[in-house]
Structure formats: structure tokens, C-alpha cells
Structure 1
Amino acid sequence: MGGGELTDAAWERIAPLLPGVDGRGRPWRDHRQVINGVLWRLRMGAPRRDLPERYGPPWQTVYERFARWEADGTWARLLEQVRVRDGSVGAVEWTVSVDSTVSRGSPPRRRCPQKGAAAGDELEDPARASAGQAFGRSRGGLMTKVHLTCDGRGLPLAVVVTPGNVNDSTVLDAVMDEVTAPRAGAGRPRRRPDAVIADKAYSSRAIRQTLRRRGVRAVIPERADQKANRLRRGKAGGRPPAFDRDLYKARYVVERCFGRLKQLRAIATRFDKLAARYKAGIHLAALILWLREPAQDPLPDTT
């Protein structure tokens, strides 16, 4: 992610998409200054009160703008609108990769008792997970898991946040439902990738059937225990699932995407109490990745 602020080119792209002034109340603080302040906090992982003076004062303005735009969906909408450009020119590579990574809560978050969770409760129930703000207790303490889908270039398409002890395979449907690439003109956004590349954590008959029902090619290696069980059953075990070893090598892009996102300390370690605020920070980080992607030329007209 680097250590810079919004470039002039990036600012020119998102400035028209930001909320405008309606003429009522006090004027807005400069949007670019505020967004750079949010990026500084994500990059440094420092307390908001330590925000440098060039982004304030007061520091509350930066936080309140960030919280307001999280509540009304502005950060997610910005990410969606920026993807319109690449989707309209066919630049999105629809061989997508799926994986997850764990972010450990900061020491104050690890010590906080989780509302609605009894002793020993692992927050597997969705209602309790929501009450616990996507913190799940494991051997390393309270963790948050980020499930990510990225396109063939390593740019995020969908983000889902769950407690850290939630199994990856149980969240795949929710992650796939979030995959979308809006179109610049008329028509519904594209939601179905050509293929999904995932590791052995997603190897199950149910997942393969789900992807087949969606018309999506599954590129998932078979686990050793599943292979041994299939061979033990002989003909009753059926044929081995199709697996493209060469295409599977492209899975590195999702690991690279996690590495780029976790250059921001507030993404690598969760300092936010609310899961929605943490996810909004990931949306902003993903937005920067899309803005830094070189512009693509429109597809030639072949009609």
C-alpha cells in the first residue's frame, strides 16, 4: 500500500463521487484532507487522538466523517463505482481466488469481554457472532477472520468479516454472493466468475456442488483424507474431482492481495471495536488498490 496519500489522479476519480454540500449548516472540511487522515490512521494503526495537525484539528472531524460514511455506505459505494470503469472495459479477470486471513485484536480488544457470549462460547452462532462484533476466541485470543475474493489481477471483489474461529468453507456462499462488477451502462452487474480457485480448506462435496449449480468451475485440490476415503470405497467412491494443476498456480494473487492490505497496521491488527468500522477500513484499503491499478483502454469495437 505504500506510505503516500491520495494522488492527484486518484483524487480526480473519486472527487465527483463524494457527498456534496447541500447549502445547509456549516461547510464540510475538505474531503481530501479528511480521507488522507483516515488513510494515515489505517497506515500507522495509531490512536485517533494522535492524528497529525495537518489532518486536523480537531481529530474528531476525521473520525466522525469516517463513521458517517461507514453508516451510510459511502465507502462501499465508492469501491463499487471505481470498479465500474474496469468492468465496463472488460479489464476484470474473472478467474477469481478465494481465501481468508486472521487479524488479531489489539491488546485492549483481546481483554474486552464479548457481549452475549458465555464462558467457553466460540461465537459460532451468527446472532452471537454479531453481538460479539466478529471476534472469535481461539488459542491466540480474540481473532477476526477476513474472507476475500479477488480477480485474476489480485484486486478485491468481495470482503466478508467473521469471527476468527469460523470455518472457511461455511462462508463461501456469503463471499460468492458479494462478488459483483457493476456495468457502466444498462444491464445487471456481473456476479458469476468463470472459475474459483481455492485451497484444500474449501474441498468438500457440498462446495463443489454449489459452484457447479452456479455454473462456476471449481479449481480446488482434494484433501488427502478425502482421497483415501474415496479409494477405500472402490467403485462406490466415484471418480476424483476435476482439478487443473496449472490454473491452481494462479492462487498466489489472493495471498499477494492480503500482503498488500496488511501493509496497513490497522488492517493487520484490528484496533476497531465495531466490526462494521473494521470492514469499512478494508473497503477503503481495497479502494486504494483499485485506484492504483493502471487505467485500461476500452475494448475495440468489433461490430
Structure 2
Amino acid sequence: MDPHPSRGARQTRRAGPDRLVEDRGGCRRDQGEKRGSITGPSPVDRGKNGSKIHVLVDRAGLPLVVGVSAANVNDHFALPVLVRAIPRVRTPRRARRFRPDKLHADKAYDVRETRKWLINRGIMVRISRKNIDTSTKLGRHRWVVERTLSWLTNHHRRIGTRWEHHGRNYLGFLTLAAALTCFKKLTT
């Protein structure tokens, strides 16, 4: 075998975070992000890596903003990001609105800092309080969000089970599914 490779051969690409790299005993997966980006151990699924979908909807259940986080991230961290991402909406009588008047949420969002942040932005808070409110009190408002999540995950196969390795691709498909859901509901 010739110790010098031919001049026409191309150099192979170096190993990246999602590539196999050489090890003493053979090849191993690089210590990058296992199972893709924006994943974390799920507290309800035996610690398997997974993602969590966050959706901010209007009163009719149309998705306004969607987001993805790791499965082990608390929900209240995603709420300020979603509220800031609400698009400006032109109303017939007033200037453009960019924040809701009232926000309903379940007990996962019951954190003092989150409540303060929403009140400082002028948003009326309707968050169910831990160890005080029953689960039926906000149930008539919460089913709208659950229905929207069902529209997204059941009608779009790529959203229900995450197949994408990169989190930005999954978020792109989720945003596309939300846009298609809005299109279907607004045209009928």
C-alpha cells in the first residue's frame, strides 16, 4: 500500500458534534447533544430525552405563538418568551395591540416572578394557584389550549412524534403546523 495518498483524493471532513469519532476501541458517538438539540430528560417518561411544546392561543383556540423547550424545563420560563413574541394585531377602533388584556394559565405557571412580570406589563393574570384553587376552576378556559395542542399533534404527523434531530427544524415544522391550523380555521 502506498504511504502517500494520491493527489486527486479529497480530504475527509472532520468530526462534528453529530459525527462518529475514533476511539481506542473503535468508533463512538461524539459527546455532543444526544437525541438532538432542545431536549432534556422527561420527568414522566422514565428519564428519556424529549421536548415540550408551548402554545399561546386566543379565545377561539387559534395558535398565536408556539415554542419548544426541553422536557425538564419548568413551564413558567417559557411564558415571558411567548408573550413577547405575540404579533401586533390591528383592531378596528384602536391602534395596534401587542399584548393580551387577560391571560389564563394552569398551575405550572404559578410563580411569583411570573405574576409580577405580567402585572407590570398590564396583563390581567388568571393563573390557578397551587394548593388553593381546584383543577376545575380554570377548566373551561384550559380545554381551548388542550384542543389546540390536539389539532397540532394529531393532524400533523411530524409534530406528534419528534423525528428531527435539530431543534430549529422541529420548531419550524411546529410553526408551519400552527399556520396551517390558523388557515384552516379562518377560511371555514
Distance across 1 between alignment mates of 2:129 and 2:74: 17
Distance across 2 between alignment mates of 1:113 and 1:288: 37
Q: Give the deviation of 1:140 after TM superposition.
A: 4.1
**Residues 1:276 and 2:168 aligned together:** yes
From the superposition, tell whether residues 204 and 184 of structure 1 become closer, same or farther in structure 2 (CA, over 3 Å): closer
Q: Which residue of 2 aligns with 1:27?
A: none
Among 150, 162, 169, the residue aligned to 1:259: 150
- Structure 1 ranges of 4+ moved more than 3 A: 181-185, 245-248
Q: Give the deviation of 1:184 after TM superposition.
A: 9.0
**Counterparts of residues 185-204 of structure 1 (less than 5 Å):** 189-204=96-111
Q: Give the deviation of 1:181 after TM superposition.
A: 3.6
**Counterparts of residues 8-19 of structure 1 (less than 5 Å):** none
Distance across 2 between alignment mates of 1:282 and 1:209: 30
From the superposition, tell whether residues 113 and 135 of structure 1 become closer, same or farther in structure 2 (CA, over 3 Å): farther
What secondary structure does 1:270 align onto? coil
Q: Which residue of 1 aligns with 2:39?
A: 135
Q: Cα RMSD between the aligned structures?
A: 2.9
Q: In structure 1, what residue type is equivalent to 2:123? A: V
Aligned residues of 1:198 and 1:219 also touching (Cα < 8 A): yes
Q: Give the deviation of 1:198 after TM superposition.
A: 0.6
Distance across 2 between alignment mates of 1:149 and 1:113: 36
Deviations 1:24-83 (A, max 9, x none): xxxxxxxxxxxxxxxxxxxxxxxxxxxxxxxxxxxxxxxxxxxxxxxxxxxxxxxxxxxx
Aligned residues of 1:180 and 1:189 also touching (Cα < 8 A): no
Distance across 1 between alignment mates of 2:142 and 2:86: 17
What secondary structure does 1:293 align onto? helix
Distance across 2 between alignment mates of 1:217 and 1:191: 14
What secondary structure does 1:133 align onto? coil
Q: Give the deviation of 1:259 after TM superposition.
A: 0.5
Aligned residues of 2:128 and 2:138 also touching (Cα < 8 A): no
Q: Give the deviation of 1:190 after TM superposition.
A: 2.5
Among 140, 164, 174, the residue aligned to 1:249: 140
Among 219, 222, 230, the residue aligned to 2:129: 222
Q: Give the deviation of 1:268 after TM superposition.
A: 0.8
Aligned residues of 2:61 and 2:144 also touching (Cα < 8 A): yes
- TM-score normalised by length of structure 2: 0.71
Distance across 2 between alignment mates of 1:246 and 1:223: 12
Aligned residues of 1:183 and 1:189 also touching (Cα < 8 A): yes
Among 48, 59, 68, the residue aligned to 1:161: 68
Aligned residues of 1:146 and 1:162 also touching (Cα < 8 A): yes
Where do 5+ consecutive residues of structure 1 fail to align?
A: 1-111, 118-131, 228-240, 297-303
More contact order relative to length (CA 8 Å, sep ≥ 6)? 1
Provide the aligned length of Structure 1 versus Structure 2: 153
Richer in strand (by share): 2
Distance across 1 between alignment mates of 2:122 and 2:107: 20
From the superposition, tell whether residues 177 and 141 of structure 1 become closer, same or farther in structure 2 (CA, over 3 Å): same
Q: Give the deviation of 1:113 after TM superposition.
A: 6.7
Distance across 2 between alignment mates of 1:188 and 1:115: 47
Where do 5+ consecutive residues of structure 2 fail to align?
A: 1-28
Q: Which residue of 2 aligns with 1:115?
A: 32
Richer in helix (by share): 1
What secondary structure does 2:129 align onto? coil
Q: Which residue of 1 aligns with 2:51?
A: 144
Q: Give the deviation of 1:211 after TM superposition.
A: 1.0
